[in-house]
Chain A
Amino acid sequence: MTSRCIVLLVATAVCSVAGDPRSWWSGPEVTLLGSPSRNGKLLSFADPVTGALGVRDLVAGTSRFIATRPAGSHEFAYFSAFSPDASKIAYAWFNDKGFYELRIISTSGEGQPFIAYRNEEAGFVQPCAWTPDGKQVLTMLFRRDNISQITLIPAAGGAPRVLRSLNWVYPKKMDISPDGRWIVYDNFAVEGKPERTIFVLSLDGTQERRLIETPGDYLFPLWAPDGNRILFAGDNGGPQELFTLDVEEGKSIGQPRPLTGALGRIIPLGLSVSQELFYGVRTGSPDVYIDSRRIPTRFAGRNTAPAWSPDGKQLAYLSRRGTENFGEQARVIVIMDLVSGNEREIAAPLAHMERVVWSPNGLSLLISGSDGKGRAGLFTVRVEDGATTALSVEHDAPFRGFEGVWSRDGKSVYYLYGETELRQRRLTDGAEETILRTAAMQHLAINKTGDTIAIGIGGSAIRMTPLQPGIVARLLPFPDLTELAWGNELYAGRGEKLWVVPLDGTPPRQIPAAKGRLPGISPSPGGESIAFAAGREQAEIQSLQLRK
């Protein structure tokens, strides 16, 4: 017992970092979907502009693409992981059929990529690590019914071995111990609560154990190259930082210990054999503006999708929390009182929220997005208490949900179902009716009197759609349309630029718009102001040298 305590004390004393974080790569082109090679010289990445899989030479500061998409296609690379000898990269590829498959390619870029796993029913794959012998890829499969599965997929191709299925939840990251016996992953500590904790699962499928019992929010675990400890991001009440925990035979020894101070919104990416920890930091700053003025908020740099309340006294917007893109903890709705400046948060139980529209009576919000059960579409959220109801949802709908607007009387909702149907759904009895079928519909807005809906058609025109029978629709040309909003006037966006579109058919009039403006404007009810979001998410790759 005494000797064990001494060992623990020694271990505690030597687990620390040497020096300050080192910055390797920053800018709008940096994504946090790759991993470092074991020698710490290369980083795989997904290029946000071209969709290509790339390799970044961290020392030389140069990048090259090794898997590119065919001209004219919408395919792209996503998560990736180096093989142990860095000769290959396993990566997720969004294919021409509209789902992700697992591919493997030579790091040199020579030869064609090999499809190791392709199954539409498991339409999202996230390669996380390779087994030490390089024969299998630890991959998270995300099925269409929103089941995530911890699997081992043969690098040479073949059926995955499903070790563990998780309902409606998924690990943010997984890693394999250097001896190839254990998988470490994060998952919710308690059902229904957002906090995560760390688990180990044996590769032979015979054991699983929760490693941390103490309160806190711990995620993105990695196994240290010495095999004796794991590292992960998290917080136990304070700012997010890096933690370590000693592990032996799949069991924790002691408690998690902080390794660093606050590092910002971090995502650990991987460790080199020399114990250099590579991680990404989110550095972008999207924020909400009213005209040219950034609104003062407690969570600056994390805010999008503003929506003015019908009485003009409040502004609702989405605010990012944590480091993740997806999940119930990722975003909250903020209601700001524009007179007092007070902010109130609504934590709706939704995995993703894309846009917000106030009901005419100001009591509910219409949210486009998806829930934790893998259903996407439209939801209503009660402003008073956040009570959330699925309004029109499907398992196969895009995670950003449907674009919808309220009817004037607030008793029904109009929304675009796919790109070919405009539907009306009555809130009273849930009855639905398709009121328009036509091709290539995107974006919609309704006028103040509620008798006309404007719909983007093929990105080149606006279809003015009367809701009363007997009135003929008409088209207003507008090339490269990217968004619509309707206050006292009809607004149309083209990228970050903005126009007012006269209804009499005269040419649109461009109005000033902030540089870096994001889609999603909200005109004030009186028409005197416009709320919008501007600023991009950015990221930086950094590293910390751990002491052995």
Chain B
Amino acid sequence: MRHLRLTLALVLCLPCNGQLVCPPLGLDAYLPAPEDNPFTREKIELGKKLFSDKRLSRDGTVSCATCHDPHYSFADSRTVAVGIRGQKSTRHAPTLINRVFGKSFFWDGRAATLEQQVLQPIANALEMNMPLEELPQHVQWNATDVSRALAAYVRTILAGNSPYDRYLSGDRSALSTEEQEGLRLFRGKANCATCHVGANLTDERFHNTGIAWENGFRDDGRFAVTQREADRGAFKTPTLREAARRAPFMHDGSLTTIEEVIEFYDHGGKANLNLDPEIHPLHLTPEEKNRLAAFLRALTGVVQDGVAPGIFR
């Protein structure tokens, strides 16, 4: 099996215009980047340093990596993000893997670009609480430079080459029988693929599953951006890649295991005023739930960062 994985990796690293292009298996060769912030080696290296630099926070105790921990596939093992002086946010820090393919950012999609997104936690009083105009005094770079460098670096955080990717690319032995059964459920009876779709297993859209409902919405979600009543309580579909490494789940971190997530959806989410029509009771048997969980764990693969395919080599 190890030999096969190496062979697949070599086959997919193809020379292209003199450069070696090698995204993890399962991801596109094309990595979108804005024309005014193209990938450069220097910018990515700076972004990687800044990502772990606690000087970006007001009291020097918190960096981006504090809540987007590389050891947890760039997510947070805590329920909600914790900022300076132990201040708790209201939402769980989402993973940053494969955000290069993102169409909007944050659970409510309020940032249109990664360049906008990366500055908001820095400035947020509950998180890093650093006035952006003060950045040059702390890290020698202004907000625009920091934004571009961090965004360029985050675009290099890629996850792929999981057993699922190898199965999709034609290795029929990459998934066990139980995992293959789980994949069938994922695409069929469990209805997961209705939202968790594509190379990154997310439709990048906003759905109301009822997770924020408790006799009213505890979090308005997408409504805060669109002011559309139908969007109240809707949150962006997260990727499922690396799910086994980055519990807890949902926008509020309220579900602690993959099994709890499956139970939540098996019950048809939580009924509320805006429940997405695709969320309904699944009637999964205990055996089917186990198979589905096994498949979700097979989405665990390789996470790489700081390398932009087609740039360095």
Contacts and interface: CB of A to CB of B under 8 A. Distances in A.
Interface of A: 118-119, 121-122, 143-147, 149, 158-159, 161-165, 167-168, 201, 203-206, 208, 373-375, 389-390, 394-396, 430-431
Given A201-B30, A208-B30, 15 more contacts: A119-B169, A121-B170, A158-B11, A159-B8, A161-B29, A163-B30, A167-B197, A168-B197, A168-B203, A204-B16, A204-B21, A205-B310, A208-B32, A373-B193, A396-B187
Contacts of A162: 27-29, 199
20 contacts: A119-B169, A121-B167, A121-B169, A121-B170, A144-B187, A159-B8, A159-B170, A162-B27, A162-B28, A163-B28, A163-B30, A164-B28, A164-B29, A165-B198, A168-B197, A373-B194, A389-B277, A396-B184, A396-B187, A431-B283
Contacts of B187: 144-145, 394-396
A82 B11 CA distance: 26
B30 A206 contact: yes
B203 to A, nearest CB: 6
Scoring B21, B32, B170 by chain A CB atoms within 10 A of each residue's CB, the highest score goes to: B170
- Taking chain A's interface residues, is the majority helix, strand, or loop, or is none over half, making it mixed? loop
Contacts of B16: 203-205
A167 B19 CA distance: 28
A454 to B, nearest CB: 29
Contacts of A394: 187-188
B302 interface: no
B158 to A, nearest CB: 13
Nearest to B193: A145
B43 to A, nearest CB: 15
Contacts of A121: 167-170
Nearest to A152: B14
B280 interface: yes
A435 B95 CA distance: 46
Contacts of B70: none
B30 A167 contact: no
A205 B12 contact: no
A208 B31 CA distance: 9
A204 B167 contact: no
Contacts of A122: 168
B88 to A, nearest CB: 34
Contacts of B21: 161, 204-205
Interface string B264-286: 00000000000001101101000
- Choose among B28, B169, B199, B281 the residue with the greatest number of A CB atoms under 10 Å from its CB: B28
B197 A145 contact: yes
Interface string B1-21: 000000010011010110101
A373 B191 CA distance: 11
B281 A430 contact: yes
Interface in B151-198: 167-170, 184, 187-188, 193-194, 197-198
A134 B193 CA distance: 37
Contacts of A205: 16, 21, 28-31, 309-310
A146 B193 CA distance: 9
Nearest to B199: A165
A374 B280 CA distance: 19
A204 B8 contact: no
Given A164-B30, A395-B193, A206 B310 contact: yes
Nearest to A431: B283
Contact of A161 (B12, B32, B184, B277): B12
A143 B168 contact: yes
A317 to B, nearest CB: 27
Contacts of B31: 205
A348 B180 CA distance: 33
Interface in B21-69: 21, 27-32
Nearest to A145: B193
A405 to B, nearest CB: 23
A159 B11 contact: yes
A147 B197 contact: yes
Contacts of A208: 30, 32
Interface centre among B8, B14, B31, B203 (most CB of A within 10 A): B14
A121 B187 CA distance: 12
A375 B187 CA distance: 9
Contact of A119 (B8, B17, B28, B170): B170
Which 5 residue pairs are nearest across A and B when measured between Cβ atoms? A205-B29, A395-B187, A167-B198, A165-B199, A204-B16
Contacts of A168: 197, 203
A118 B31 CA distance: 26
Contacts of B193: 145, 373-374, 395
A373 B197 contact: yes
A78 B11 CA distance: 28
A374 to B, nearest CB: 8
A381 to B, nearest CB: 14
Nearest to A159: B11
B198 A147 contact: yes
A485 to B, nearest CB: 30
Contacts of A119: 168-170
B28 A396 contact: no
Contacts of A373: 193-194, 197
A146 B197 contact: yes
A508 to B, nearest CB: 39
Nearest to A429: B281
Contacts of A143: 168
B143 to A, nearest CB: 27
A161 B109 CA distance: 31
Interface in B205-237: none
A164 B27 CA distance: 8
A375 B272 CA distance: 26
Contact of B29 (A158, A163, A395): A163
A454 B19 CA distance: 64
B20 to A, nearest CB: 11
A143 B168 CA distance: 9
Nearest to B14: A161
A389 B283 CA distance: 19
Contacts of B198: 145, 147, 165, 167
A481 to B, nearest CB: 30
Contacts of B188: 394-396
Contact of A165 (B28, B170, B184, B277): B28
Contacts of B27: 162
A395 B188 CA distance: 6
B179 to A, nearest CB: 14
Contacts of A396: 184, 187-188
Tell which of B16, B30, B187 has the most Cβ of chain A within 10 Å.
B30
Nearest to B17: A204
A394 B19 CA distance: 42
A143 B32 CA distance: 22
Contacts of B170: 118-119, 121, 159
A396 to B, nearest CB: 7
